[in-house]
Structure 1
Amino acid sequence: MLPTTAPLDTSAMGRWLSMDLDAWTRHVVRRHFAPETGSPYWLKRRDTLPFDPFDITRYAELSAFGHFTLAELRDLDPVDLVPQAVPRPLSGRVFDSGGTTGRPCHVFYTGPMLDHHSLWRRFGLVTAGFQPGRSWVYATPGGPHVVGEGAAQIAHLYASVVYGVDLDPRWIKQLIRGCRLAEVNHYVDHVVDQITDLMSSRRIDYLETTPALFQALVRRHPELVGRLDGVGLGGTQIVPAMYREFAGALGGGRIGTAYGNTFGCAMGLPAEQNGDVLPYVPHYPQVTMAVVDRNDPARTVGYGEVGQVRLTVLHEDLFLPHILERDQAVRYRTSADWPCDGVANVQPLQVSRAAPEGIY
């Protein structure tokens, strides 16, 4: 169980945010490719690469690896991505991707990876202005999805009482692919009913859910939404018009946002220009994001321009270079408080019946 703690671990956040990205890149690459510490997957790949990974000295040189294809993770034993430096036998959780475009991918989270995720999660709560010691309803995917860890994170790292409502995004996507929209609406009603039952029978301060579900709640039960002190939203479906609708319904309540997936996440920064700009900063230095030309992924677009999101994962225990995401975003220039670029106004790159976003 995660320890209950009141103070934020500013020392860890400070170390991460002050990290030189080139030095961190060298450290992670060497850990994954050194014969005595390396991960089985990357050690096997080493002889097939047209360069020596130890020649990588800067973050920008990770382009030599090309783009990592997530399809490899569908059949790969996720343990093979974990460096041998991590003591065996391994003990930990395997999380799945959403599986929108096929069978899900699998990633093993070591203890330090979960600690990193948890501290950034708590930092996001503090940044958004949520108060500890409150009551939450947490209505998101659980089970194999890393976002489900948020309920325990809020409870144990933010001294809160958390009620859970489960959500199965894969079933919704199956229904959409099959054009079974009446069943989609029935499932949404089923989840919203569980949320409203909790909110109408006791004091709930905050709600964590997806933008699509919160929009359904706002339109069906605005009187309950108006009682909330804030909402946390994760996913790729929040756009400026939705943000303004939510802000109006909350009547001054907090809105916290997050963007990401099983492989890497970004923390929402305060909305700008009345919600026209919805920015995020990645969980640096283990997670970085670039916005690239969708027709030429080697080219990073200019600030304020729209492109495809490219994710790089640089955990000590997980190395995934240059993943091309299914999302588009605006390249966002962060303030001097942050050591890396951000992304803003994230949306699905393409929505189709074969790859629906559903309620998440």
Structure 2
Amino acid sequence: MSRVVNPVLDLPFDAQPDPDEFIRAAMEWHFSPDTGSPYWLERAKTLEFDPRNDIKSHDDLKLFPNIVNELREVRAQDLVPRGYGDAPEIVGVFESGGTTGAPKRVVCLSDWLDRMVAWSNANLDAHGFPRGAHWLGITPTGPHIVGRLFARSAATHGTMGHTVDLDPRWVKRLIAEGRPEQADAYAEHIIDQAAFVLRTQDIGVMAITPPLLERLARRDELVDLVNRKVRAIRWGGTQMDADTRHLYRTEVFPDVTLYGHYGSTTILGIAGQRLGLTDDDPCVFDTFSPYVTFSVVNPETKRVVRYGERGQVVMNHVSKALLLPNNLERDLATRVAPLPGNIGDAVADIAPVTHFEDEAVIEGVY
């Protein structure tokens, strides 16, 4: 049986809690001996502050050390808050892409996935995605949360989801080992599988990564199939530059809704493309505030840059299910003012750094 929880942590997905009240409630939940996770209760002993007393606002999250590298070795069960009781409803244990070494690992609980998908589905509605369509997912599955997000979105916003196997770590390994021709052959194999589905099924929504969408767009037959059948494309996983996005929207897939998302395993979710952007606007991403928030900082000083300036993305996840604050990501972005009522930053013009944690960053197909 789960412990008593402050109602502010269980509000409907479309309710906007007071951000400071929310942060204080989250600190009480994650650092109380009865409700906090074994990991954070032990880690708190090493902190130079008391989270229950000293973390009172979103801005205070920067006091936390960046602990994501510890997630390479932490036992998954130690990340689950005790407040969920003896039989927590766990959706899955998910891992980062392994772009910069051994993957980091997080646990996703059912109530968080329900909340994240409800928010995402509302965004899809706002962007004109058809309800009840059949979906095709050309995205990673396995230990990658994007696969579970796809499956839940396809089932709740659509009717059913068709999937294609995709192992992005294999592609990255091939590229790192100087075997680009094998990486190329594998990517073409992925598109071959997608072609079988597009030819035979009534696909109305497609989820795909930008590198694979580019490969698909090289095949005239598949472009024709997409334009004839698919009403909306959700892309994400790697960046899409403004020129490519403009080309897709105006020439390649002119009548197909194109909607992007930007996310990370370590936030257990995604940020969504801002509504109302023109073909010439940069692609701005807004977070699911106050649960997922970004800041854009100078890589050297870690100070927030001005709006319109570029910096490195810092991500925070604060929910009843997980606490993962102050995570310096491997991405650069332009800082954009958030939507009214949101806390943290919106971001645009996402691009990876060339090196992160002393490792070369290889994106491949995801």
User: Does the pair score TM above 0.5?
Assistant: yes
Residue 192 of structure 1 and its aligned partner are, at CA, apart by 0.6
Is 2:232–2:256's contact at 8 Å kept on the other side of the alignment?
yes
Over 3 Å counting, the alpha-carbon distance change for 1:306 and 1:273 in structure 2 is: farther
Is 1:177–1:356's contact at 8 Å kept on the other side of the alignment?
yes
Is 1:136–1:162's contact at 8 Å kept on the other side of the alignment?
yes
Residue type at the aligned position of 2:361: A
Residue 154 of structure 1 and its aligned partner are, at CA, apart by 2.7
Residue 188 of structure 1 and its aligned partner are, at CA, apart by 1.0
CA distance in 1, matches of 2:280, 2:190: 27
Is 1:351–1:357's contact at 8 Å kept on the other side of the alignment?
no
Is 2:135–2:158's contact at 8 Å kept on the other side of the alignment?
no
TM-score (norm 2): 0.89
The superposition leaves residues 107-157 of structure 1 with CA deviations (integer Å, 9 ceiling, x where unpaired) of 111121111221122122212210112122111001111100133223321
Q: Does 1:85 align with 2:83?
A: yes
Residue 340 of structure 1 and its aligned partner are, at CA, apart by 4.5
CA RMSD of aligned residues (A): 1.9
The superposition leaves residues 63-83 of structure 1 with CA deviations (integer Å, 9 ceiling, x where unpaired) of 2223x1321001101221222
Aligned residue for 1:282?
287
CA distance in 1, matches of 2:231, 2:321: 38
CA distance in 2, matches of 1:276, 1:236: 18
Residue 351 of structure 1 and its aligned partner are, at CA, apart by 6.1
Matches of residues 1-360 of structure 1 in structure 2 within 5 Å?
12-15=12-15, 18-55=16-53, 56-66=55-65, 68-92=66-90, 93-221=92-220, 222-227=223-228, 228-247=230-249, 248-264=251-267, 265-270=270-275, 272-297=277-302, 299-336=303-340, 338-350=342-354, 354-360=360-366
Aligned residue for 1:8?
none
CA distance in 1, matches of 2:118, 2:80: 21
CA distance in 1, matches of 2:203, 2:78: 43
Aligned residue for 1:6?
none
CA distance in 1, matches of 2:20, 2:216: 45
Provide structure 2 residue ranges, at least 5 long, that are not aligned to the other structure: 1-10
SS of equivalent to 1:208: strand
Is 2:296–2:345's contact at 8 Å kept on the other side of the alignment?
no
CA distance in 2, matches of 1:144, 1:167: 11
SS of equivalent to 1:14: coil
SS of equivalent to 1:88: coil
Residue 244 of structure 1 and its aligned partner are, at CA, apart by 1.2
Is 1:151–1:164's contact at 8 Å kept on the other side of the alignment?
no
Residue type at the aligned position of 1:235: G
Residue 14 of structure 1 and its aligned partner are, at CA, apart by 2.5
Paired-residue identity, %? 35
Higher mean alpha-carbon deviation, 335-344 vs 312-321, is at 335-344
Over 3 Å counting, the alpha-carbon distance change for 1:196 and 1:351 in structure 2 is: farther
The superposition leaves residues 213-234 of structure 1 with CA deviations (integer Å, 9 ceiling, x where unpaired) of 0011112233233323221101
Residue type at the aligned position of 1:332: V
The superposition leaves residues 8-49 of structure 1 with CA deviations (integer Å, 9 ceiling, x where unpaired) of xxx82321xx21211111111111111222221121122222
Over 3 Å counting, the alpha-carbon distance change for 1:161 and 1:341 in structure 2 is: same
Residue type at the aligned position of 1:333: A
Over 3 Å counting, the alpha-carbon distance change for 1:203 and 1:84 in structure 2 is: closer
Provide structure 1 residue ranges, at least 5 long, that are not aligned to the other structure: 1-10
SS of equivalent to 2:325: strand
Alignment length, in residue pairs? 346
